[in-house]
Amino acid sequence: MKAKLSLLLAFVFGLIHPSPARPPTDPKGGLSELEVSVTEPSPYLDWAKKAFDTALTGVVGEQKASPRSAVSKSGQVVLWGNLFQVKDCYAVVELMAQSDVESENYGVAFAEWKDGIWQLRQLWKIPTFWRPEGWRESEPGSLPTTPATTPFELSDLGGGATPELIVAGETDRSFQDHYLLRFSQKTKMLNLVASAMSRPEVVGSYVRLYFKSPRRAIYEEWQFFKWKGDDLQPVASWHDEVGYGQNDPTFAEGERIKEGGKSETTRVQYGTGLEYNGDGYELTRDQKPFGKMRVTWKDPKNLNSMNSDEIEKAWLFEKITGLPRRFYPMLEKTKSVPKLEHVASVSVEGNAESARMFTSKP
């Protein structure tokens, strides 16, 4: 695991210097502020109701109808039908400004077809961004990330009998925000449970969210969650970071969430000084010294001929997070690689618990 640390990196949305803070493992962090009351009067609600009525003009609900979508004459996408397999008819509506005067207004609405009309149930101030399939940008390179082809997607992310709703949000440089909403069969409402900087994915029995550093190629982070009712509960996370400034550390860091919600964070940082020539690392556990590690390759030629960074990090990922190393994200982009235990040995000094944790016996 040398200083190349696989960050694919052409990064995003606001510069933090010299070292960015990690995204929170609370997937809801700040999301409640996006929901707008549909009962308390406000200028935004007045605008949203008009955009809502315009988008749904001519759209007739039907109980048990299969989900369908259309673009209204005003350019807003409507997804409606038996969206959540509960026999009732719902709609998700893209709200867009229709003039320069309204340019600061945008949002997503959730409605129910009842008593022959669409009734507004919920409203979020979420900006949507999409381009139809086959679209080509007029100025190549202005959108390095190919945007979603629709603002709304129903997908089974393992939350239960009903699909989840994914909303494609704003795009900036090399990422697109995505918002994850879960339908509650108890309340018949949508819960905004998470957001991430790419489409949420299912990995094994986990939901994985992705984050990256603003603009400069500094870090990538993957967070793993499990469903608990209609909410996501954190299980583990993995963070790769390349020091931005001369004195900023380059490291990998994993977090494991134990029963009761207590977390344990272990950092593997490149060492400094002559004694760290090669694959030598300083370890910390919850910001306290946790020993020193050295990885010794059985055949030194493999250090450069194999993808040694990812072999080592996949092993570290498993040891630190407690998740199977096949879930290490960067392995998805490489062909099959050998296990570290078969090509190298690991020694740890300075901490007995760390030595037990990082044993490399096959």
pLDDT at 25: 53
Return d(Cα 93, Cα 171) in angstroms, integer.
19
CB under 8 Å to 221, separation ≥6 — which residues?
22, 23, 210, 211, 212, 237, 238, 239, 240
Instruction: Please say if the pLDDT value at position 117 is more than 50.
Output: yes
Residue bearing the bigger pLDDT, 59 or 335: 59
% of the chain beyond a pLDDT of 90: 61
DSSP 19-43: SPPPPPS-TTTTGGGGB--SSS--H
Torsion sign across C-alpha atoms 262, 268, 272, 273: positive
Instruction: Please say if the pLDDT value at position 12 is more than 60.
Output: no
- Beta pairing partners, 284: 267, 289
Q: Kindly state the average pLDDT of the residues 230-257.
A: 92
pLDDT at 243: 87
Instruction: Please say if the pLDDT value at position 182 is more than 60.
Output: yes
Longest dimension (CA), the chain: 76
Return d(Cα 200, Cα 180) in angstroms, integer.
8
Q: Kindly state the average pLDDT of the residues 331-351.
A: 86
Q: What is the overall mean pLDDT for the chain?
A: 85
In 3D, which of 323, 316, 318, 324 has the Cα closest to residue 235? 323
pLDDT at 18: 30
In 3D, which of 58, 81, 84, 176 has the Cα closest to residue 126? 176
Of 47-56, 81-90, 133-142, the poorest mean pLDDT is in 133-142
In 3D, which of 135, 179, 149, 143 has the Cα closest to residue 71? 149
Q: Which two three-digit tokens encode residue 175? A: 């990422």
Which segment, 208-217, 296-305, 329-338, 343-352, is predicted with the most confidence on average?
A: 343-352
Instruction: Please say if the pLDDT value at position 16 is more than 90.
Output: no
Residue bearing the bigger pLDDT, 356 or 15: 356
CA angle 203, 172, 179 (to 5 degrees): 40
Return d(Cα 9, Cα 318) in angstroms, integer.
24
Report the side by side order of strands in the sheet with 164-172.
Answer: 152-155, 164-172, 175-184, 189-196
pLDDT at 49: 96
Name the pairing type of β-strands 175-184 and 164-172.
Answer: antiparallel
Which segment, 98-102, 315-319, 338-342, is predicted with the most confidence on average?
A: 315-319
In 3D, which of 123, 124, 67 has the Cα closest to residue 90? 67
Report the side by side order of strands in the sheet with 90-96.
Answer: 68-71, 77-81, 90-96, 106-114, 117-124
